[in-house]
Amino acid sequence: MTKNLLWILLLGIVYPRPTATYAQTGSPAPPSCSTTQSTPKWTAVLTAHPDDWQLFMGAAVCEEVRHPRRKTVFICLTGGQANEPADAYWQSREAGHRASVRQAADLFASAASTAAAVTRVVINGHSIDVYRYQNTVACYLHLPDGGVNGRGLARGNFQSLQQLRDYGRPLTPLNGGAPYVSWDDLSQTIRGLLAREAIKGQLTLHIPQAEARCNPGDHSDHYLAGALAQYAMRQQECRFFQYVGYDVSRRPVNLTASQQNNQRQVYKAYCQTMTEQRQGDPWDTKHLAFIGHQYVQVKHQTGQLLQPERPVIASSISDEEVAQDEDALLDEKLNLLPSYPNPFAQSSLLVYQLPLPAAVWLRVLDMQGREILLLQNGTIQPAGQHEVWLDVQRFPAAGNYVTELRVGRHRRLRTVSVIR
């Protein structure tokens, strides 16, 4: 674990306050994002409220989502219901969160996608709503907002993350789901959810800064969300990006015009959804004061890599029914697209589509059925589109070959032609 930590601005801009008591003098500068040991394949963003990532992490998270081959998992702990008595308010806030995720995914896409999937999974005995769009996954626990001081609010029966951690008071989701009875219960659920969505490799986790000395005057739920993420990932290999919350409005603007524009667009998507659903418009001076300011501390924690796990299915569905559903989905949706270009003299792009997470075997055979290339050997991959380049130098000779995609009993074949 990095022993000495410096406050840095996300893209290498140094915060010019000489009296920053939370920066340890004499410490070496932390490495930039571009000098990590390997290219991250997945990222998670864990926040307390539906508008936190847009306001305090927006520019950085948009950069993560812009990479189509990188999976980004959003976890929103509370509905942020404040003291509004009706469910429509917190449900609109979560709808705004989903709209922001879609907007982030569409910022750099050539065309917006209309395909989205909403499912409900059970992790550690708790029901969680999961929303998938392009290379993003958004997960909602629907916990009650604890209020700025962490004592809870009347609408949430005065329950809060702080009360759960400090006093063991159960925390019941706003939609009436099974209560979280301890901090360990909630932590194990978060860890199980991350394991369910994991891709093999180091996790980058964007979270609120949990230390008040580095993040003064923030919301109790923000502090607790940061603390929860670190507790859930203890002894695991992880790179934490820890963000300042409310206090950023008092610090200098440090994002470029382009970064601010991305941040505004994702927050605007949230606000438009709120107004469309006849809630108050949060596009106001109070919230816009956070736009353009992004202060983050980077901490690398060593340990075991989080291992991907098979999705946990609701107990009301039998294993046989699940297997039948997955088999039918694979039969209908598993797809190996024609390579392009084909024939090829240099390289060709091989594209395949998985309707659900699965172990994948991908290889190239000659016309006698002998294996020439082994591209995937049972690797568990997430649902979505995957790409592999075929390099002509790896083929023994010109001629026709067969690409074979196999998932379970399902097999897809395509012919490719190598020319010299």
CATH number of 124's domain: 3.40.50
> Is the entire prediction scored with pTM above 0.85?
no
Tally of domains in the chain = 2
Whether residues 111 and 200 share a domain: the answer is yes
Name beta bridge partners: 236: 304
Domain boundary among 286, 301, 316: 301
Whether residues 340 and 284 share a domain: the answer is no
Q: Specify the DSSP element, H or E, that contains 332.
A: helix 319-333
Q: What residues of the chain score a pLDDT lower than 50?
A: 1-38, 311-319, 321-322
Whether residues 94 and 234 share a domain: the answer is yes
Whether residues 344 and 265 share a domain: the answer is no
Q: What is the pLDDT of residue 315?
A: 39
Residue 171 lies in a domain: yes
Whether residues 220 and 153 share a domain: the answer is yes
Residue 269 lies in a domain: yes
Residue 317 lies in a domain: no
Residue 24 lies in a domain: no
Q: What is the pLDDT of residues 163-217, one digit of tens each?
A: 999 999 999 999 999 999 999 999 999 999 999 999 888 899 999 999 999 999 9
Residue 80 lies in a domain: yes
Whether residues 268 and 409 share a domain: the answer is no
Please state whether 89 falls in left (phi above 0), alpha (psi between -120 and 50) or beta.
Answer: alpha
Contacts 24+ apart (CB under 8 A), 88-94: 88/277, 88/278, 88/279, 89/279, 90/142, 90/145, 90/174, 92/273, 92/274, 92/277, 92/279, 93/49, 93/50, 93/51, 93/274, 93/279, 94/50, 94/140, 94/142
Residue 103 lies in a domain: yes
One-letter amino acid identity for 230?
A: Q
Whether residues 225 and 83 share a domain: the answer is yes
Residue 71 lies in a domain: yes
Whether residues 343 and 255 share a domain: the answer is no
Whether residues 124 and 267 share a domain: the answer is yes
Residue 144: domain span: 41-301
Residue 385 lies in a domain: yes
* Contact call for residues 71 and 199 (beta carbons, < 8 A): yes
Whether residues 346 and 390 share a domain: the answer is yes
Whether residues 346 and 287 share a domain: the answer is no
